[in-house]
Amino acid sequence: MRIYEGSPRTDWEEVLRSIGAHADHEQLKELLFLELDQGFILQGLGPPHTGAWAEGSGALVKRTYELVEDKVSELVDELAGHRGQRPPTEPAPEVTHYYEHAMRVLGKWIDGQRARDVFLFEQEGSFVIRLLVATPSGTGHQLAEFTREEILAMIEAAPEERAAAPETPAGG
């Protein structure tokens, strides 16, 4: 990830989890996520930012967020500060904090790919991801698709995988 190159905070799992929590908080859906040199663009459909009821209430509007390095750090730190304060989510067809959990498991998968230049979009809980990865024959794009059912299975398996994973030293 370009915004954290050379620093100990380089995992996609925590960054995407935090951005997913932000999407949940903003009540976004149909996400589009794009990595930039100095951060990310997050776009989704969400309720309008109006305090009053308006005709067409329930309509969604396109909302776009430029998440620069400082904002991403703030989101990661904010979510880390809430760790352990919420009851664990039961994986069910309607997972609360869906984007937080979905983006976290996708971030873990992306970490395993050692990728950069991440682009993804989501529709109805399913994700398509494009990554730039190094291969023995050079660098190229890789596409992956995850259905909602696959994401829910990954969310359900995550606590057991974390419990089985060896502890890594800080910054490592």
Q: Hey, what's the torsion of the CAs at 42, 43, 49, 54, to 10 degrees? A: -170
9 vs 132, more confident = 132
The structural domain count of the chain equals 1
Residue 155 lies in a domain: yes
Residue 53 lies in a domain: no
**Residue showing tokens 């890594």:** 168
161 vs 83, more confident = 161
Residue 77 lies in a domain: yes
Q: How many CB atoms lie within 10 A of CB 41?
A: 14
pLDDT tens digits for range 25-66: 999 999 999 999 889 999 999 999 765 555 556 789 999 999
Residue 170 lies in a domain: no
Q: How big is the chain, counted in residues? A: 172
Token pair for residue 172? 């490592």
Domain residues for 69?
2-48+59-164
Q: Hey, what's the torsion of the CAs at 11, 73, 118, 65, to 10 degrees? A: 160
Token pair for residue 126? 């399913």
Residues of the chain with pLDDT > 70: what percent?
77
The Cα 53–Cα 120 span in angstroms is 33
Residue 83 lies in a domain: yes
pLDDT tens digits for range 61-110: 999 999 998 999 899 999 887 665 554 444 444 568 999 999 999 999 99
Average pLDDT over residues 105-119: 91
Residues of the chain with pLDDT > 90: what percent?
56
Residue 44 lies in a domain: yes
The Cα 17–Cα 99 span in angstroms is 8
Residue 37 lies in a domain: yes
Average pLDDT over residues 13-21: 94
The 3-state secondary structure of 70-93 reads: HHHHHHHHHHHHCCCCCCCCCCCC
Q: What is the mean pLDDT of the chain?
A: 83
Residue 172 lies in a domain: no
